[in-house]
């Protein structure tokens, strides 16, 4: 998945708005599950082979942005490079009730915008959609603690038995030094 | 005696109490920058981050940015990232390769060995006024490389790094040496994690100094199991290889402190890294070779955690990394974590470790998220007018340490806050502007 994807031919298709509408509804539903802390419900939206990735970003000099601005999936240290097993562990940890960084639970509001379907293809009979969106995640804890995470997301959604699920999610947070003490929330 | 004359009264080494204000006072923070971070040896990076001539890595010493650069002849330098003309930072990239550092402001340029090279319109404007040789980049007073790690100090009178590390070196060695016992050989994985913690830097440093008492705060990960054998069904956040060991809390005269462990004399190696049979076999073989190389007795000692005074911590084994707690304000720390692997480990082993490191450490790490929460809150609690009338308690295992432990250093065989007491005793000496004899603990 590259950061910048070419303008979608898909957009000229008469069915595009209907498809995008369906994807938007899916992403809004996902945000609702997380905001209302239905973490297990959220896990159900993830394919078993999901790759959930948030690179570390570097300051690099002009000309090196393409190759060197971010750590690479499966190759370097990142903020997240997760599969379903460890994402499930993260949910289990919150549900222990003694995960102190989430006790009391964060109060979160997710705003999803700029949703576009950039590619659709049939992969061995399974429909896969490339989707990009922006997420503004507001997190509040205890009294005065609040953090905003504005991120770009590049997803691959897969349709199985009619329902969409997330097969791949790349999250870009535009900070070289993470300006938050923790990443206990899901993007 | 410090500028305000009160520093000594903030730390009561004998009684084991420490005033809360050292974790929140702006005035004390400024004194720390001036008296500790201008003198102590500070970790600034790892050679594997700058393998080629011209490579550089942006680092920090105290609150200031430094460039760690390898010059054309492969010598490593550490420079203040500030132009000698008007101070603008010379380099804004986190790492890269260059032949010159050119200031964006007036275009003075410096070579990778720090010499002033280009001065625009030199002939017209500076001929006869400016001696280029006098305006090289500000370079640290001393720089040393130890088993790949790069250290620097601004104090020309600081003792050599090995003297500074003292007997704590043994424990740093166990972190830096190959898993199979060969000396050195580690590399830093690309992607130093950097993040801001709203806490005083000493609280983080102290946590790694040997504060094993905070173990219960990690109950959530222990319950669910996130270790290298968790998929195999083992609970906890590591393999439980130290379960049968005699744990050692060792403090050193220079202010360093470690928590290491000595395995029983007669023991078989515990099964580890069982999520992946290839990785498990790799470490089984590494353990066997380590024993062969070090001998049965030395092989019994295993590293856990430690802090090298003032702000470099390490996690020696599971996970394996170096962490620096950069002071950014009395209530703000910028943490940098460098993750280590053996450079010649197979890719599959490195990949496995990388995944484990990510789920354990740092702000996205399931274990350390809870640490950050605690440090944040402890710092905030050091601020209150009433709260500050009540010192913190550091009396755990007071008077229970011995000089006759299995390894050099003042050793407690049970959980102890002696490491912290010694650390703050040295801290107080730095703030008083003590001589190196005192700072090295020769007058204790």
* DSSP element (H, E) containing B298: helix B296-299
- Domain count along chain A: 1
pLDDT-based confidence at residue B7 (cuts at 50, 70, 90): low
Distance from CA of B221 to the nearest CA of A (A): 6
Q: pLDDT tens digit string along B94-150?
A: 999 999 999 999 999 999 999 999 999 999 999 999 999 999 999 999 999 999 999
Q: Is residue A111 part of a domain?
A: yes
Residues of B engaging A, defined by a Cβ cutoff of 8 Å:
58, 92-96, 189-198, 217, 219-221, 223-226, 230-231, 334, 339, 351, 354-355, 357-359, 362-364, 366, 369-370, 372-374, 376
Residues 6 or more apart whose CB falls under 8 angstroms from that of B138 comprise B79, B80, B82, B84
CB A146 within 8 A of CB A123: no
Q: Average pLDDT over chain A, rounded to whole?
A: 94
Q: Is residue A4 part of a domain?
A: no
- In terms of Cα–Cα distance, which of A15, A47, A16, A23 is closest to A132? A23
Best probe of the B interface among A58, A82, A187, by most B CBs < 10 A, is: A58
CB–CB contact A100 B220 (8 Å): yes
Distance from CA of A69 to the nearest CA of B (A): 10
Regarding beta strands B301-308 and B410-412, do their DSSP bridges make them parallel or antiparallel, or are they unpaired?
Answer: unpaired
CB–CB contact B196 A89 (8 Å): no
pLDDT-based confidence at residue B356 (cuts at 50, 70, 90): very high
User: Is the pLDDT score of A7 beyond 80?
Assistant: no
CB–CB contact A78 B358 (8 Å): yes
Q: What is d(CA B129, CA B124) in angstroms, rounded to the nearest whole number?
A: 10
Task: Name which of B224, B362, B369 is nearest A96 (Cβ-Cβ).
Answer: B224
Q: Cis bond leading into B310, ω under 30°?
A: yes
Q: What is d(CA B304, CA B296) in angstroms, rounded to the nearest whole number?
A: 19
Residue in chain B closest to A181 (alpha carbons) equals: B197
pLDDT-based confidence at residue A3 (cuts at 50, 70, 90): very low
Distance from CA of A130 to the nearest CA of B (A): 26
pLDDT-based confidence at residue B2 (cuts at 50, 70, 90): very low
Q: Is residue A132 part of a domain?
A: yes
Q: Which residue has the tokens 């942005």?
A: A65
Q: pLDDT tens digit string along B228-243?
A: 999 998 999 999 899 9
Mean pLDDT in residue range B395-415? 96
A39: CATH: 3.10.450.50
- In terms of Cα–Cα distance, which of B356, B420, B369 is closest to B392? B420
Mean pLDDT in residue range B36-58? 98
Q: What is d(CA B52, CA B48) in angstroms, rounded to the nearest whole number?
A: 9
B-chain residues near A101 (CB < 8 A)? 369-370, 372-373
Mean pLDDT in residue range B340-365? 97
Comparing A9-13, B53-57, B129-133, B348-352, the range with the smallest average pLDDT is A9-13
Distance from CA of B376 to the nearest CA of A (A): 9
Residue in chain B closest to A87 (alpha carbons) equals: B359
User: Is the pLDDT score of A6 beyond 60?
Assistant: no
Out of 3.30.360.10, 2.102.10.10, 1.10.10.10, 3.40.109.10, select the CATH number for domain B42-143: 2.102.10.10
B-chain residues near A93 (CB < 8 A)? 220-221, 224, 226, 366
Q: Which two tokens stand for residue B208?
A: 């790694």
Of A183 and B6, more confident: A183
User: Is the pLDDT score of B8 beyond 70?
Assistant: no
Q: Is residue A63 part of a domain?
A: yes
Domain assignments of chain B as residue spans, ordered by start: 42-143, 162-439
pLDDT-based confidence at residue B77 (cuts at 50, 70, 90): very high
Whole-number percent of chain B with pLDDT over 90: 91
pLDDT-based confidence at residue B216 (cuts at 50, 70, 90): confident
ipTM of the shown complex: 0.94
Q: What is d(CA B103, CA A7) in angstroms, rounded to the nearest whole number?
A: 38
- In terms of Cα–Cα distance, which of B130, B120, B135, B31 is closest to B80? B135
Task: Name which of B223, B354, B366 is nearest A77 (Cβ-Cβ).
Answer: B354
Q: Which two tokens stand for residue A34?
A: 């997380």
Q: pLDDT tens digit string along B174-209?
A: 999 999 999 999 999 999 999 999 999 999 999 999
pLDDT-based confidence at residue B41 (cuts at 50, 70, 90): very high
Task: Name which of A55, A96, A101 is nearest B223 (Cβ-Cβ).
Answer: A96
A-chain residues near B92 (CB < 8 A)? 59, 61
Mean pLDDT in residue range B300-319? 97
Q: Average pLDDT over chain B, rounded to whole?
A: 95
B-chain residues near A96 (CB < 8 A)? 219-220, 223-224
Domain ranges, residue A25: 9-173
User: Is the pLDDT score of B6 beyond 90?
Assistant: no
Q: Is residue A73 part of a domain?
A: yes
Whole-number percent of chain B with pLDDT over 70: 98
CB–CB contact A183 B364 (8 Å): yes
Q: Is residue A186 part of a domain?
A: no
Beta bridge partners of A123: A126
Helix (H, G, I), strand (E, B) or coil at A126: strand
Whole-number percent of chain A with pLDDT over 90: 87
Distance from CA of A79 to the nearest CA of B (A): 6
Distance from CA of A172 to the nearest CA of B (A): 14
Distance from CA of B138 to the nearest CA of A (A): 23
Q: So what's the pLDDT on residue A10?
A: 80
Across B14-53, b (16+ Cβ under 10 Å) vs e yields eebbbbbbbbbbeebbebbeebbbbbbbbbbbbbbbbeee
Mean pLDDT in residue range B298-302? 96
Q: Which residue has the tokens 């007795």?
A: B297
Q: So what's the pLDDT on residue A177?
A: 98
B-chain residues near A68 (CB < 8 A)? 96
Beta bridge partners of B262: B246, B301
Q: What is d(CA A15, CA A4) in angstroms, rounded to the nearest whole number?
A: 23
- What CATH number does the domain located at B162-439 have? 3.90.380.10
CB–CB contact B192 A75 (8 Å): no
Task: Name which of B196, B230, B369 is nearest A101 (Cβ-Cβ).
Answer: B369
Distance from CA of B209 to the nearest CA of A (A): 21
CB–CB contact B369 A58 (8 Å): no
Task: Name which of A80, A177, A184 is nearest B334 (Cβ-Cβ).
Answer: A177
CB–CB contact B220 A75 (8 Å): no
DSSP string, B330-396: TTEEEEEEEEEEETTS-HHHHHHHHHHHHHHSSTT-TTHHHHHHHHHHHHHTT--TTGGGSPEE--T
Q: So what's the pLDDT on residue A67?
A: 87
Q: pLDDT tens digit string along B236-277?
A: 999 989 999 999 999 999 999 999 999 999 878 889 999 999
Domains B42-143 and B162-439 agree in fold: no
CB–CB contact B93 A61 (8 Å): yes
């Amino acid at each position: 998945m590259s950061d910048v994807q070419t303008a979608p031919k898909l957009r000229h298709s008469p069915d595009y708005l209907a498809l995008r509408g369906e994807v938007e509804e899916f992403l809004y539903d996902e945000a609702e599950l997380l905001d209302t802390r239905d973490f297990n419900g959220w896990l159900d939206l993830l394919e078993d082979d999901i790759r959930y990735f948030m690179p570390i970003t570097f300051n690099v000099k002009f000309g090196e942005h393409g190759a060197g601005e971010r750590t690479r999936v499966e190759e370097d240290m990142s903020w997240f490079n997760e599969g379903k097993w460890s994402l499930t562990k993260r949910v289990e940890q919150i549900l222990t009730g003694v995960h102190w960084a989430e006790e009391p639970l964060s109060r979160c509001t997710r705003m999803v915008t700029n949703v576009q379907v950039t590619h659709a293809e049939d992969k061995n009979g399974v429909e896969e959609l490339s989707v990009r969106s922006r997420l503004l995640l507001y997190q509040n804890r205890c009294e005065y603690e609040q953090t905003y995470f504005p991120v770009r997301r590049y997803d691959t959604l897969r349709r199985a038995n009619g329902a969409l699920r997330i097969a791949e999610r790349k999250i870009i947070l535009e900070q070289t030094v993470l300006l938050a003490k923790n990443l206990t929330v899901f993007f | 005696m410090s500028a305000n004359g009160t520093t000594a009264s903030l730390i009561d080494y004998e009684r084991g109490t420490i005033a809360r204000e050292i974790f929140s006072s702006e005035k004390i923070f400024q004194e720390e920058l001036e008296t500790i971070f201008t003198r102590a040896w500070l970790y600034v990076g790892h050679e594997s981050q700058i393998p080629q001539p011209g490579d550089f890595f942006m680092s920090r010493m105290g609150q200031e940015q430094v460039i760690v650069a390898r010059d054309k002849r492969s010598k490593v330098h550490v420079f203040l990232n500030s132009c000698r003309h008007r101070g603008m930072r010379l380099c804004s990239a986190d790492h890269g390769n260059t032949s010159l550092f050119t200031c964006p402001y007036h275009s003075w340029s410096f070579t990778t060995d720090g010499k002033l090279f280009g001065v625009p319109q030199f002939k017209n404007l500076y001929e006869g006024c400016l001696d280029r040789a006098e305006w090289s980049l500000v370079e640290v007073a001393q720089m040393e490389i130890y088993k790949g790690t790069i250290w620097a100090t601004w104090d020309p009178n600081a003792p050599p790094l090995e003297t500074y590390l003292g007997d704590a070196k043994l424990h740093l060695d166990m972190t830096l040496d190959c898993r199979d016992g060969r000396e050195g050989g580690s590399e830093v994985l690309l992607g130093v994690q950097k993040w801001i913690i709203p806490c005083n830097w000493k609280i983080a440093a102290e946590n790694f100094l040997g504060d094993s008492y905070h173990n219960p705060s990690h109950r959530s990960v222990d319950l669910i199991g996130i270790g290298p054998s968790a998929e195999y069904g083992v609970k906890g956040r590591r393999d439980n290889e130290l379960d049968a060991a005699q744990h050692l809390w060792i403090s050193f005269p220079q202010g360093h402190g470690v928590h290491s462990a000595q395995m029983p004399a007669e023991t078989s190696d515990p099964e580890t890294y069982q999520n992946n049979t290839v990785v498990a076999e790799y470490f089984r073989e590494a353990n066997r070779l380590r024993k062969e190389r070090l001998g049965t007795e030395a092989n019994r000692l295993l590293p856990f955690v430690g802090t090298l005074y003032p702000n470099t911590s390490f996690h020696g084994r599971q996970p394996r990394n170096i962490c620096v707690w950069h002071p950014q304000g009395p209530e703000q720390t910028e943490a940098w974590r460098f993750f280590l692997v053996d450079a010649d480990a197979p890719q599959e082993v490195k990949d496995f470790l990388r995944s484990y490191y990510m789920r354990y450490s740092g702000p996205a790490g399931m274990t350390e998220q809870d640490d950050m929460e605690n440090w944040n809150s402890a710092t905030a609690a050091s601020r209150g007018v009433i709260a500050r009338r009540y010192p913190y308690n550091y009396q755990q295992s007071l008077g229970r340490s011995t000089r006759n432990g299995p390894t050099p250093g003042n050793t407690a065989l049970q959980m102890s806050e002696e490491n912290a007491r010694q650390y703050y005793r040295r801290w107080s000496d730095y703030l008083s502007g003590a001589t190196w004899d005192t700072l090295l603990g020769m007058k204790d």
